[in-house]
A and B are shown apart, each in its own frame.
Chain A
Amino acid sequence: EAGVVQSPRYKIIEKKQPVAFWCNPISGHNTLYWYLQNLGQGPELLIRYENEEAVDDSQLPKDRFSAERLKGVDSTLKIQPAELGDSAVYLCASSLGTAGNEQFFGPGTRLTVL
Chain B
Amino acid sequence: AQSVTQLDSQVPVFEEAPVELRCNYSSSVSVYLFWYVQYPNQGLQLLLKYLSGSTLVESINGFEAEFNKSQTSFHLRKPSVHISDTAEYFCAVSETGGFKTIFGAGTRLFVKA
A associates with B: yes
The answer to whether B43 and A108 have CB atoms under 8 Å apart is yes
How far does the alpha carbon of A48 sit from the alpha carbon of B32 in the complex, in Å?
Answer: 18
The answer to whether A40 and B43 have CB atoms under 8 Å apart is no
| Nearest Cβ on chain A to B9's Cβ, whole angstroms | 7
Q: What is the interface of chain B mostly: helix, strand, loop, or mixed?
A: loop
Count contacts on B: residues with CB < 8 A to the other chain: 25
Asked whether A41 and B105 contact (CB < 8 A) given A100-B49, A100-B51, the answer is yes
The answer to whether A40 and B106 have CB atoms under 8 Å apart is yes
Asked whether A3 and B100 contact (CB < 8 A) given A42-B106, A102-B49, the answer is no
Interface residues of B in 35-92 (CB under 8 A from A): 36, 41-46, 49, 51, 90, 92
- B4-25 to A contact mask, C-beta < 8 Å, 1/0: 1000010000000000000000
Nearest B residue (CB) for A97? B99
Asked whether A42 and B90 contact (CB < 8 A) given A48-B99, A48-B100, A103-B101, the answer is yes
Cross-chain pairs A/B with CB under 8 angstroms, 29 sampled? A3-B43, A40-B105, A41-B105, A41-B106, A42-B4, A42-B92, A42-B104, A42-B105, A43-B44, A43-B90, A44-B103, A48-B99, A55-B99, A93-B43, A99-B96, A100-B49, A100-B94, A100-B96, A100-B97, A102-B46, A103-B46, A103-B101, A105-B36, A105-B43, A105-B44, A105-B45, A106-B43, A107-B41, A108-B43
Closest 7 CB pairs of A and B: A42-B103, A105-B43, A105-B44, A102-B46, A99-B97, A100-B32, A100-B51
Q: Which residues of B contact A (CB under 8 A)?
A: 4, 9, 32, 36, 41-46, 49, 51, 90, 92, 94, 96-101, 103-106
